[in-house]
Chain A
């Protein structure tokens, strides 16, 4: 079946540091890939997505590239802010299956 593996947290960074959160997946065919963010006390929000190989999703300074050869979708941001502190979930939607499969989530803490 489908699965998503993402790095354990928490990740603690200083403001303006570079962020990478690793995500790899297992799926048959050509899944769509997503990053969702959950701010404290709020629901999940879509951060970015990619629907086919080599697509790059980007939003709010965050980027992730769909790498089929390495089955990865790593999240990056060049300069994090305190307001980026949240839990980040990598997820996939497999072919013919519309529900999402989530990774375990990575908590990011950005210190001033």
Chain B
């Protein structure tokens, strides 16, 4: 089955530093990947849509200069949290859609998530 990996799985950093999270589709190609944020015991909130070879599309209220997204290849998207602060601490999850998905159902495959803790 389709597998999406994220790295790192857990990161602790000091306030003011930047953190990069990688999302990779391991056995399929994805022109579009999605980045979500999940607060404890809450649902996933879409942050942005990452498009291969073009700029990401951010949801309302998400600072594009704060959360930098790069989608340089069909199998890799990165999210960089710049100048992280404690309020950025959260669980970040990516998902990817297979470009050859012919089911029409828009099935997405999720990474295991990255837990970010900013001290």
Contact = CB atoms under 8 A, between A and B. Distances in A.
Interface of A: 32, 34, 36, 42-46, 49, 51, 89, 93, 98-105, 107
B95 A51 contact: no
Contact of B105 (A36, A49, A105): A49
A6 B42 CA distance: 12
B43 A98 contact: no
Contacts, number: 55
Contact of B106 (A36, A93, A105, A107): A93
A103 B104 CA distance: 22
A20 to B, nearest CB: 20
29 contacts: A32-B105, A36-B110, A43-B4, A43-B6, A43-B93, A43-B111, A43-B112, A43-B113, A44-B93, A44-B95, A46-B107, A46-B108, A49-B107, A51-B103, A51-B104, A89-B43, A89-B44, A93-B105, A98-B49, A98-B106, A99-B34, A99-B49, A100-B34, A100-B44, A100-B106, A102-B43, A102-B44, A105-B41, A107-B41
